[in-house]
A and B are shown apart, each in its own frame.
Chain A
Amino acid sequence: MRDRTSRAPDVGWGWRLLDVVIAVRRRLGADRLEPYRPYLMLAPALALVTLLAGGIVYLVYLSFHSFDTFLFRQGPWSFEQYRRLVEPPSGDFNLQTLQRTLVISLLVTVGAVALGLPVAYFIVRTRSRAARILTLVLLLVPFLMGEVVRAFGWALVLGSNGLVAWVASWVGADSGGILGTPLAVWIGMMQVSIPLATLLILPALTRIDPDLERAAATMGAPPVRVWRHVVTPLARPGIAGAAAVVFLLSVAEYDMPAILGLGRLPFVANVIRSIYTLQNNLYLGSAFSLVLMAISTLFVVVLVAVGGIRNLRGGSDG
């Protein structure tokens, strides 16, 4: 039989420890810090933002200097790195890489939001608890494994000896797989982007009162019209937020283009890695990083402007 009295000394020690903490707090005059508690609570976030800002300032500093990669010696202030980004022999290639990165990222964003929205709607509106939990679990599965593992998994499926090639040959088509194509990169990136978009849209859909949809239906609106004129406008802040996050993660993608693109379809991140490690030129890499960051930021600003995110509470102007 369990001895219930055996835990009594622990409780006593617990209270005594608390007394000690309170005594130390009074001795230190910690109560005087109470008015500053909001500031102190902000400190970790501020430290993180500062660290990131410091990194960006460093990138800016590097990008506006010339650099001798052989002697590893920094030169004077200069626009040399930005000139190199646009001039031969790399100018056309860099532009092409930037275009590829932006176009595939936009397609991933559109695809992820378009497919994530109905899934999120299903999770919110289904009456089956089991279906809701199962869907959420399935959404979380891709996050349980690393990106490189996911990429190699897709390489097996999309490769010349993979499932796609097997199905193609079974139906009589001559296919060597689709690895090394933009489609393969897009598919690989979609796997994690769809769940991400779904989870980001969920809160916005949860806040939509189901009675609004019922009211619209009562007035004779078919489901498509209800979806178009009621659900989508009210979910717009969530959709815009999801699109921003998916896009920002997509433009910084490295593994999927490297593995599923077979090295032939580099994104900007792949080129920056090459510049850093193979050209040994962190100054040029910094310049390209900042160009990508500026374009990404511009995209998010536009998205926020047109997406109806007017405040942090997720209010909609729709």
Chain B
Amino acid sequence: MTVRRPDPTPPATFTRRDFLRLGTLAGVSVPVLSLVAACGETTPATTAAAPAGGVPAKPDKIVVRTWGDPWRSTYAEGPAATFTQKTGIPVEFDVTGFSEIQAKVQQAVAAGQRPPVDAVLTIEERAFAAKAQGISVPMDRSLLTNASELSSVGLPADGSTNYVSVSTYSQPLVYAPDRVQLPEDLSWEEIWDPRYEGRLFVTDTPSSLMLPVAKMLGLDVTSDDLTPVWDKIAELRPNIAAIGDEEEFLSGIESGEFDIGITLAATALEAEGLAWVTPREGSTVSTEAFWIPTNLPEETTYWTTVFVNEVIAAENQSLIAANLGEVPTNLGAELPDFMKEDPATFPFTEEDLERYALVFPVEVGARNNDAWQAAYTAAIQG
């Protein structure tokens, strides 16, 4: 194709087709080369601690990733408020999804840039993975003055301080008592009963079911072949009405799509008229933890550690228990009555944890997350 020219300028030898070819080549090459460059080795994590020589300057603010309400409002009302009151540093919240924020921090650290948030509240296995990936810093133990009051699940088992666990949650059977009656003493085997066909909700992540099933089958998830676990979960399919997260559980059970669900006990508190029971094998107990990314200014790391210490203060832990329905890790916190009355669902003391909880094995879980999630998804949706 030639281009019609209105004036006697030199004839074009560069056609529109050439232009398209060149443009496409350049356009494709630039992102490809950039991406290839970006996919190199990640920047090694730096270790940040309290700066020598006293209290560092205060940042304008700190940005904390949490889940949306009621998490954000609870953290704003409790630890953020007391932290700002004591330090004058405002706290902003970021409610980016927990997978997305992990990826964003990874990308920022790899590019040598400052991460988008100063602290991340996430599930413990992701906090553990952040440590292994070198994108979290160990927190200065001397700033974590409240850590001495934490239970055994409060700090990483290896003695490090790359994350601090702030609350635990269990995943019992939650049901609508006006539509179904569950015995107070039951086994997890109960939900395989054909009379619950099409009446059960399960979560889209494996931890809620795989630990109880492994215990039923006498298997150890940290060392045994888990094929029998996935096979057993697959046998549950006829009873499964819906699969999803906490919001989907709430909307579905309120609209009558199912009568029983395996979900967070805290979720049951968000709707009226729901009851819950923890089967005799116990239910999965997982932990939420804070970690601080690397590549932050030293003073930001310092003050963010102070904020994390505020989160695990007994008074704020009591608020977390009351508002979120999650069990505090600070043994000095005050529990609401419904927690005190049900230690099987809300294990608090070391004795409760030992007796009732199927504590999620963080390291093995983090290392096998990809494989376990794939196997579980295939088992329940296949």
Chain A residues in contact with chain B, CB under 8 A? 32, 34-35, 38-39, 42-43, 46-47, 49-51, 53-55, 57-58, 61, 69-74, 84, 89-90, 92-93, 96-97, 155-156, 159-161, 176-177, 179-180, 258, 262-264, 266, 271, 274-282, 284
Contacts and interface: CB of A to CB of B under 8 A. Distances in A.
Contact of A53 (B27, B106, B373, B377): B27
A263 B243 CA distance: 5
B106 A42 contact: no
Nearest to B134: A71
B6 A271 contact: no
Nearest to B99: A277
B370 interface: yes
A263 B257 contact: no
B19 A42 contact: yes
A74 B35 CA distance: 13
B55 interface: no
B56 to A, nearest CB: 30
A-B complex: 4 closest residue pairs judged by Cβ atoms:
A50-B27, A54-B31, A263-B243, A262-B242
Given A42-B16, A264-B240, A264-B242, A50 B378 contact: no
B317 interface: no
Nearest to A48: B27
A94 to B, nearest CB: 8
A93 B381 contact: yes
13 contacts: A32-B9, A38-B3, A39-B16, A42-B16, A57-B31, A69-B370, A72-B106, A92-B382, A155-B255, A263-B242, A277-B99, A280-B370, A282-B103
Contacts of A57: 28, 31-32, 35
Nearest to A54: B31
Interface string B243-256: 11000100010011
A53 B28 contact: yes
Interface of B: 3, 5-7, 9, 12, 16, 19-20, 23-24, 26-28, 30-32, 35-36, 39, 42, 97, 99-100, 102-103, 106, 129, 132-133, 198, 204-205, 230, 240-244, 248, 252, 255-257, 366-367, 369-370, 373-375, 377-379, 381-382
Given A155-B255, A263-B244, A284-B370, 10 more contacts: A39-B16, A50-B28, A61-B32, A71-B132, A72-B106, A73-B133, A159-B257, A264-B240, A266-B381, A280-B369
B369 A264 contact: no
Max chain A Cβ within 10 angstroms of own Cβ: one of B36, B132, B252, B381: B381
A63 to B, nearest CB: 13
A89 B231 CA distance: 11
A13 B113 CA distance: 49
Contacts of A53: 24, 27-28
Contacts of B374: 84, 89-90, 275, 279
A93 B242 contact: no
B204 A278 contact: yes
B214 to A, nearest CB: 16
Contacts of A177: 257
Contact of A70 (B242, B252, B367, B382): B367
